Amino acid sequence: MRLIRLVSAALLACTAASLSAQTFGPPVAGMCLLSRTAAIGASRAGQSMQARLGQMQTMLKGELAQRRGAIDQKRRALEGRRNATAPIEYQRQSALLDQQAQALEQQQNARFIAAQTHGQQQIDRALGEALARVITRQACGVVLERDQSYGWNNAMDITGAVTSEMDAILQAVTIQ
């Protein structure tokens, strides 16, 4: 009985593996599939944006740590004067330092989001132009998101062509 279960499980595993590698039917004329995420991720511009955002994030963390260090130093000095400072004045100065720290963090986050948005806009423009070129060349009547499909015929996948066109249009993203 155990042997039958093992053999059955092995057969099911082999069947499932062969089904996942199988191409689904003949290509449908005029229907194209695109993985937006894969096209952007494989493009030079997408890789450039990820690298630049990583550098910016590192720089902003360094700046934040440095400025936060100055605020922490002021906080320690305030703590040292706590007994010599009126309680209401101590609370006011402590709240002011908290506000400065929060404002600093929000400012850094806003800078990063603005840079990310600017880079994404450049990529979206390049993707739109590349997609238009490939759609015209491939005579696509409809383009569907490949990542939302259960399966497809690879002849309908235009992701690689769109990535190549994006590379021709935009090699690097500029981030402020």
Is residue 13 in a domain?
Answer: no
Query: Is residue 148 in a domain?
Result: yes
Residue 158 pLDDT exceeds 90 = yes
> Are the C-beta atoms of residues 159 and 35 closer than 8 Å to each other?
yes
**Residue 54, domain member (yes or no):** yes
What residues contact residue 114 under an 8 Å CB cut-off, 6+ apart? 176
User: What confidence score (pLDDT) does residue 66 get?
Assistant: 92
30-35-40-44 Cα dihedral, nearest 10 degrees: -70
Domain tally, the chain: 1
| Residue 135: both structure tokens together | 């759609």
Report the C-alpha gap between 144 and 146 in whole angstroms. Answer: 6
Q: What is the pTM of this model?
A: 0.73
Q: Is residue 9 part of a domain?
A: no
Residue 22 in any domain: the answer is no
How would you label 34-59 residue by residue, b for 16+ Cβ within 10 Å and e otherwise?
bbbebbbebbbbbebbeebbeebeee
So what's the pLDDT on residue 123?
97
Q: Do the domain assignments include residue 79?
A: yes
**CATH code of the domain containing 46:** 3.30.910
State which residues form the domain around 82: 28-169
Please give the Cα distance from 18 to 25 (Å, whole number).
15
Tokens of 110: 């806003």
pLDDT digits (tens, 9 = 90+) for 67-119: 999 999 999 998 888 888 898 998 999 999 999 999 999 999 999 999 999 99
pLDDT for 8 beyond 50: no
